[in-house]
Structure 1
Amino acid sequence: MKKYILVLFFALPLSCAVIAQQHFQVSVAFNEKLGIDSLYLFSSDTYYGAPVMHVAGRSEDSVFHFSIPSNAPRGKFYISQRTPPEHRLFGTVYTYLSFIPEYPFEIGDAMKMVVTRKHPEMQITESFSFDYDLHISGNGAEKSIAWQAIAAAFLKPTPGILFIDSAGYFINPFQEKLKGALVTLEEQRAVLPAYYYELFKAQIICKLLPGAFFYRIQNFWNSEVKKLNDGARGRFIQSYLSYMDSLHGRLGPVPDTIAASLDSYVQFLYKEARFKTFLQSGEEDMEGVIQWIVDNYHGDLKEKLLIMALRLDSSLGDFSRFEAELNNISGEENKVELNRLYAKLEGRPAYNFQLTDTSGKLVQLGDLKGKVVFIDFWFTGCGACAGVYEKVLKEAEAELGNEQDIVFVSVCVDRARASWMKSVYKDEYTSPHVINLYTNGEGTQNNLIRYYGIQAFPQFLIIDREGKVFRFLRDFTAKELTNAASLVRVLKNLAAIK
């Protein structure tokens, strides 16, 4: 029975100290051909930046060589394969499929990973933990080995999603996973540098109490707990607050420098504060959330929490009341992100872009003043982009095609013009009958994309008749995109305002 083995080497050149401080090298070798011509390594070493893609083609000796620059002493990476055209997983088109899950890297590491096919007689399921065994060794491997052991606890089954027991007390349905991961972390503590012990502690919380956890529990509150009498509701609230207090007490505080370095942990802290305030006031209370952040945090972590509030919930509160706090943000990266978020706020002047259409004609936003403009941002190969076009945009565009005061604009970030043109007329991501604009080969580095800080796709922008931002929709789950009728209603109502 054949087994496939993939070997990854992380090695740093010894001849040049300057290079060693700025790069880590990755070589990927297969012991036999698997029909893969290229591998894609995505690395991230900043809080706000999107992962950077590095491509390695297979050399004559069937080895994939990466040379990865990093502006920080540490970061994270994962490795993906490019999927065949029209590849679908659970009905969605994916351009890149994660092959090796996320692991930390540090300048100076020289790790070797061996990936062995578990079931060569079976078809690949596209679940890494089911399809492959991963063996990690070499300099710096201890942190990845520890994280690998911790991550195994995440795979344990969850016995249903229920947040209340028969006596009316809060229960965490992910408690056994959380307990298992924390026990494993303590077992690995002796071999982990202190930094990674604290980092992994924060990551465990992010994995098992993510933003979706608070979204689910708030929905559970609205659908179930809210119906209970005052005593039962009070019992649930008190038991929830006691559980979270005991969790933080058992874990101990995560150092602010580490907490502020993880977007997912900042989001956890923010969502926790938001839900706690919701329970105490019985309604959405952004003023209370902001005040909680100001009273309980400081420095970079406070700045990132304020920015998180603006990023996730700008429509829920009047942030002008906290303008002084926002204007006091001093971190350079935080100020750049704040400006990007301000650009998306309702009532702000929209960016007056200048882009070319399919005929090469220059189109700018100023040409469309006096009309309601709906812009969608996409790229070829984006499954979610194709999905929202098929389910919502195509029908909405057809219904509003004769409306003189409503315009649909489609902005593509493909690097290759030929790829963009082919997709336009393929009618999979956009319609050839709307205004299709090209970012002139600049992709996500185009000024329009950078101005709004767009790093994930699809995203959408609605601009009113005066050329001001009416709504910036971060993804296709926005209520305005529930279906075509929802979008049509929003655009018609906006167009009716003279």
Structure 2
Amino acid sequence: MNLILRLSMALAFLLPGLTAAYAYPDLASNHPGEMAKIRITCADAAPSDTLALQVFDKALFDVSVGETRIYKVVKDRQGEYPFEFPVKDEVNYFNLGIIKVNNPKKLATFFDFTILSNAFAERGDDIHLSINRINAQPAFNNIFDYDLKFSGTGSVKYSTRIVLDTMVHFRVSNYIHADGSYNVSNTLSRQVRSGIAYIQNQAGEMSTVAHDLLQTDWVSSVQITKVRLLKSKVSKLDSVKRSNFYASFSMLEADLEPPLTARSKILSTYYLQYRLYLEKLRQNKAEVDYDELYEVLPSNYQGIFKERIICLFFNLYNYHIVNYNKIYENAVNQVTDKVYASFLAKYQTHLTGVPAYNFTLYDDKGLKRSLSDFKGKVIFLDFWFTGCGMCVKYFSDHLSKVEKRFHNNPNVAFIAINVDRSKRIWLGSIKSLKYTSTEVCNLSTGNVGDQDPVIQHYKVRSYPQPVLIDRQGNIVLFGDPSSLTAEELTKRINALLKI
């Protein structure tokens, strides 16, 4: 899913000095867990297929602040896949998908085929989902090749979400007038209005919480796309047109955000991400300054929402932060809720000077290798996966050149860690020489893919992900590949060799 009602007063967010602080009621989550049930029938599912649920406690889009619970089931005697799980928060977001046995195309993803993404369950849901193919396309090629029918208690919010998913079309890009000012009558705004009207027509068939949250998710998901497109377009405008755009910014914000309930803003993972993207757009810079982006969060937001958006910032952008230790120290002082503080504490693994994680993985020759095997060397880690276009570009433009420069230096080690779940695909990609060299230490996380402890420890979210480690085994840089060019990496390695 990865003009709405016009606000009577424009929001005062254009200038930092005028920025108002958002305040939200705290989100209590100490209710005893109550169950949700989802039973699924799927004619295309093979007897060996497993259906799985990822349930997120205190979700931050696609990650949990609390626990990520995994439920896997096989087909029962009634031909159904039955799930039953406690809803620990007011709602629990979840992903639903199929895991196939011995899939030759399996890469790093958890699911082989995703059925539902970022849906939410309420206590007392008792749902039946029937999945049937509606055309002659190969099985499990695209979710839109299937008809998903929901029935039972709580089902209307799911069927409404499916309808909303089919409403959005991103091809028409009429968001900015010729002079650079914002066009209120753009395609996505009209689609948002249509979606809101559809949700309101279903309001009597769902709970107030579900109605409000579905509306907030819908509005925010579309506006995420719009804000990202606007950021891309505005960065290419000349100075006059860019000034015209930001002069119309209050009108833009009024269009972006119709009245939404405070409670749903806290619960919605989409709204959280939308606000973060909006802060990026507000910067009025061709390239986002992520340190500056962080600095506005504590002043623009309050309460539990502030803590949630700071945690999401670290989850999405930790590798972009230049003054990491300083920003992290400030964040620790801002985040006081025990659960969110525990989540943030996991990002101390990126602090300059902390010991690097001593992983153990198998190399392309079947030998077990650990980070400690390279003790006393300057170590460069590169995380990648097959099909990653930026991984290919980074290796071709930068990393391959640096590897050649230090090829004969025994005090420098290059380690490439792959997260493909298929050994065959991984070995084939090594031989292609597009992602890595056969001269470096090539390691794989095996069939656990991105769920391996080394990936979880470093919270790797995007690829390629470079990590530089000094000769004492401490983190020097958990970096952004766009700034870690061949020249910059060479300079840093040479400096570490002198220590």
- TM > 0.5: yes
Q: Relative contact order (alpha carbons < 8 A, sep ≥ 6): 1 or 2 greater?
A: 2
| Cα separation, 2, equivalents of 1:108 and 1:258 | 19
TM-superposed CA distance for 1:170, in Å, is 0.9
Aligned to 1:376: 382
Aligned to 1:194: 208
The reply to whether residue 243 of structure 1 matches residue 241 of structure 2 is no
Give the alignment partner of residue 153 of structure 2, picking from 120, 135, 139.
139
Alpha-carbon spacing, 1:76–1:326, altered in 2? closer, same or farther (3 Å):
closer
Aligned to 1:39: 50
Q: Which range moves more in the overlay, 440-449 or 399-408?
A: 440-449
The reply to whether residue 344 of structure 1 matches residue 350 of structure 2 is yes
Alpha-carbon spacing, 1:182–1:383, altered in 2? closer, same or farther (3 Å):
farther
Percent of counterpart pairs with the same letter? 16
Aligned to 1:492: 490
| Cα separation, 2, equivalents of 1:225 and 1:95 | 44
CA RMSD of aligned residues (A): 4.2
Aligned to 1:307: 311
State the Cα deviation string for residues 429-479 of structure 1 (Å, max 9, x = none).
8666533557799987766444323467764423245544343257xxx42
| Cα separation, 2, equivalents of 1:327 and 1:101 | 33
Alpha-carbon spacing, 1:22–1:396, altered in 2? closer, same or farther (3 Å):
farther
Alpha-carbon spacing, 1:459–1:204, altered in 2? closer, same or farther (3 Å):
same
Aligned to 1:252: 259
Alpha-carbon spacing, 1:363–1:295, altered in 2? closer, same or farther (3 Å):
closer
User: Which segments of 5 or more consecutive residues in structure 2 lack a partner in the other structure?
Assistant: 1-31
Give the alignment partner of residue 75 of structure 1, picking from 92, 96, 103.
92
Report the secondary structure of 1:348's partner residue.
Answer: coil
| Cα separation, 1, equivalents of 2:205 and 2:212 | 13
Is residue 348–residue 469 contact of structure 1 (8 Å, CA) maintained in 2? yes
Correspondence 1:98-137 to 2 at 5 A = 98-100=114-116, 102-120=118-136, 122-123=137-138, 126-129=141-144, 131-137=145-151
The reply to whether residue 57 of structure 1 matches residue 74 of structure 2 is yes
TM-superposed CA distance for 1:268, in Å, is 1.5
Alpha-carbon spacing, 1:33–1:367, altered in 2? closer, same or farther (3 Å):
closer
The reply to whether residue 29 of structure 1 matches residue 37 of structure 2 is no
Alpha-carbon spacing, 1:266–1:443, altered in 2? closer, same or farther (3 Å):
same
Is residue 94–residue 383 contact of structure 1 (8 Å, CA) maintained in 2? no
| Cα separation, 2, equivalents of 1:36 and 1:387 | 37
Alpha-carbon spacing, 1:420–1:466, altered in 2? closer, same or farther (3 Å):
same
Aligned to 1:183: 197
Give the alignment partner of residue 469 of structure 2, picking from 447, 463, 471.
463
| Cα separation, 2, equivalents of 1:40 and 1:108 | 21
State the Cα deviation string for residues 285-335 of structure 1 (Å, max 9, x = none).
667655543333211111222334444455456462784563242112321
Is residue 41–residue 131 contact of structure 2 (8 Å, CA) maintained in 1? no
| Cα separation, 2, equivalents of 1:313 and 1:454 | 10
Letter in 1 for 2:50: L
Is residue 354–residue 474 contact of structure 2 (8 Å, CA) maintained in 1? yes
| Cα separation, 1, equivalents of 2:242 and 2:424 | 57
| Cα separation, 1, equivalents of 2:103 and 2:86 | 30
Correspondence 1:56-455 to 2 at 5 A = 56-59=73-76, 62-68=79-85, 71-72=88-89, 74-82=91-99, 85-87=103-105, 96-100=112-116, 102-120=118-136, 122-123=137-138, 126-129=141-144, 131-154=145-168, 157-171=169-183, 172-210=186-224, 213-226=226-239, 228=240, 232-248=241-257, 251-255=258-262, 257-276=263-282, 278-279=283-284, 289-290=293-294, 292-313=296-317, 315=320, 318=323, 320=326, 323-324=329-330, 326-345=332-351, 347-355=352-360, 358=363, 363-365=370-372, 367-371=374-378, 373-377=379-383, 383-384=386-387, 388=391, 392=395, 395=400, 399=404, 401-411=407-417, 423=426, 427=430, 433-436=439-442, 448-454=454-460
Report the secondary structure of 2:220's partner residue.
Answer: helix
User: Which segments of 5 or more consecutive residues in structure 1 lack a partner in the other structure?
Assistant: 1-19
Letter in 1 for 2:360: L
Alpha-carbon spacing, 1:299–1:183, altered in 2? closer, same or farther (3 Å):
same
TM-superposed CA distance for 1:208, in Å, is 1.0
State the Cα deviation string for residues 376-397 of structure 1 (Å, max 9, x = none).
346xxx5446983698379568
TM-superposed CA distance for 1:165, in Å, is 1.7
| Cα separation, 1, equivalents of 2:146 and 2:448 | 37
TM-superposed CA distance for 1:242, in Å, is 1.4
Q: Which range moves more in the overlay, 459-468 or 385-394?
A: 385-394
Alpha-carbon spacing, 1:355–1:88, altered in 2? closer, same or farther (3 Å):
closer
Aligned to 1:8: none
TM-superposed CA distance for 1:111, in Å, is 1.0
Letter in 2 for 1:79: L
Letter in 1 for 2:91: R
Report the secondary structure of 1:174's partner residue.
Answer: helix
Aligned length: 446
Letter in 2 for 1:160: V
| Cα separation, 2, equivalents of 1:480 and 1:190 | 52
Q: Which range moves more in the overlay, 436-445 or 42-51?
A: 436-445
